[in-house]
Structure 1
């Protein structure tokens, strides 16, 4: 697969994406779409959880702020309930909140940890919420109860998590990758070291649950199959690099229809890839700031991404009062996200 060659830094919106109005006042930490409608939630370092209602108009998207709620400290993660009525969020205040957004209810605390909550997911097949924390635990919650139904010890702090029932993959500090079969969630299915040499930043389960992607701070993605008989299909590739400059891969998202995937990085670009043909389908123009997070809507017709400071240069280099934060909405063309027929040799590395 070809190494990524970044374009020169330009304006904040070189891809002419639609812009979400009234964005957060500080960096965006997560984005997630409702599984039932084009409602987009963003969590941010200004302690807020915000929701917009989006409407597609031809080649553009308009956004209307719908509601917002607060945590006591920066919010790091978010997830929707499968019925599209409720949003979950977790963050540096060490608690997860449940917000019945569609009914206008007040947020309530449904989970607690001893350190910030980095990852959160609703698992409809189990009717539980799972939270991953820097306290080195995973906790499963029945939201009607104050105590977790199960606490799973992790070897290190939780940095990344992906769930496609029955597969769950957790990436922790020290490059640990822990695989769980959620039909037996109290036991690890498999644990191994990341195929990448540096810190894990993001993971994404294959749509068919047969493996996962892992991205790291070294500008590289690993494609890993769980079945040992498929080991020959495992590979890694370079991306989000500009000559000698190497940037973090911050986000991995599979397209819900075509099952290709997007990467977004600290170089301010996002790209679409096909893992099966080992090809990059489309390289987008470089924004003026990093892209910390991104997500597809439920039918893959909208790709949301944030452009803002990503903390890679430390808190001392960030001033929320002067920094700009953006959320953009890209409408992928089919040619950008649908795998091309395999003809002749592949472009691989």
Structure 2
């Protein structure tokens, strides 16, 4: 099945969400970011209510809140330290917050001049300590040494607002409002490796770096996703874009006119709200997209195939606002949040749109390409 397929999915590629479970729905506003600990099945969910809630997710699908980080404004992004001891959060209050998960102790290690859209723990060779990277609407990416609170260790000027950021291994990717993609080799975070135009024509919503750091995916508001290789020599075999999260409406019904107008079809285009790669090496080419249409899909980037598509689990088709594969258990679970994403402005908001935190247990066949001999 090609990537650019629109309309209803055939039964063979439909996944089942019948066993998806609802986790504690105690966020008071839309959940903007989800991150799993690499060390245990702890899930962090950052919300527009200014909180990051930490849940201990059990194998039976139940979850219990164990800690909470409080910011002074909406949280836009959160991330776990590699050893699972700390949670990072940033957002509208411009500050970089840290939470020690075991003790509940909080600290602020720095701040930008404008709201912060992306934040990640990164590994910089030779630094001798965990480093935090943050991308802001002030047009910069800053690196923070947690031993030296208050002053950034390095600052990169991106020229426009940072709308999305991610990092894995040696690669950090920051996408800006002018549809530029800025690449940073974390062996030299004091300089940009290179900058290039986004492969997509409209505003970037998310970027996700391959688990091995050798490429990245770009998502946008136009119902399209792009995949790019870091090494430009691999571009011909890796780079492509594809359409997704689109819905083809049926043709207009006939009228009673003597001469009915020709039938037309309408394609509804939805924003991609998240894109994430599967963390297990066995599924290195598998990734997931989630959208404002209330659906999520698993894809095979090497085979250019949609593996499974999951229709909206609720009749209201509430937008999915954030999603992520679990990490400590090798991607056995896929968490996603539903809520209003403001894609239709104030008039589109409704009390019927509920903020939920959901969990899908990932079956092996849902993320494994069915190779044909």
> Is 2:123 aligned against 1:118?
no
Tell me the residue number matched to 1:251: 274
Aligned partner (choices 332, 357, 360) of residue 330 of structure 1? 360
**Cα distance in structure 2, aligned partners of 1:198 and 1:22:** 33
- Contact map agreement 2:169 2:211 (CA 8 A) in 1: no
Number of residue-to-residue matches in the alignment? 333
Tell me the residue number matched to 2:305: 279
**Per-residue CA distance 1:92-146 (angstroms, 9 max, x = gap):** 01111111121232x1111201110110000134521011100101111012222
> Is 2:295 aligned against 1:265?
no
Structure 2 unmatched ranges of 5 or more: 10-15, 249-266
TM-score by length of structure 1 reads 0.91
Tell me the residue number matched to 1:239: 244
TM-score by length of structure 2 reads 0.86
Q: Which moved more, 1:14-23 or 1:45-54?
A: 14-23
1:167-316 mapped onto 2 (5 Å cutoff) = 167-233=171-237, 234-243=239-248, 244-257=267-280, 258-259=283-284, 260-287=286-313, 288-298=317-327, 299-316=330-347
Larger radius of gyration: 2
**Cα distance in structure 2, aligned partners of 1:4 and 1:18:** 28
Q: Secondary structure at the match of 2:233?
A: helix
Tell me the residue number matched to 1:52: 55
- Contact map agreement 1:196 1:222 (CA 8 A) in 2: yes
Tell me the residue number matched to 2:104: 104
Structure 1 unmatched ranges of 5 or more: 8-12, 344-349
- Contact map agreement 1:217 1:249 (CA 8 A) in 2: yes
Structure 1 pair 293/22, CA: closer, same or farther in 2 (3 Å)?
A: closer
Q: Secondary structure at the match of 2:58?
A: strand
**Cα distance in structure 2, aligned partners of 1:4 and 1:301:** 28
Structure 1 pair 221/322, CA: closer, same or farther in 2 (3 Å)?
A: closer
Tell me the residue number matched to 1:143: 146
Structure 1 pair 6/86, CA: closer, same or farther in 2 (3 Å)?
A: farther
Q: Which moved more, 1:197-206 or 1:269-278?
A: 197-206
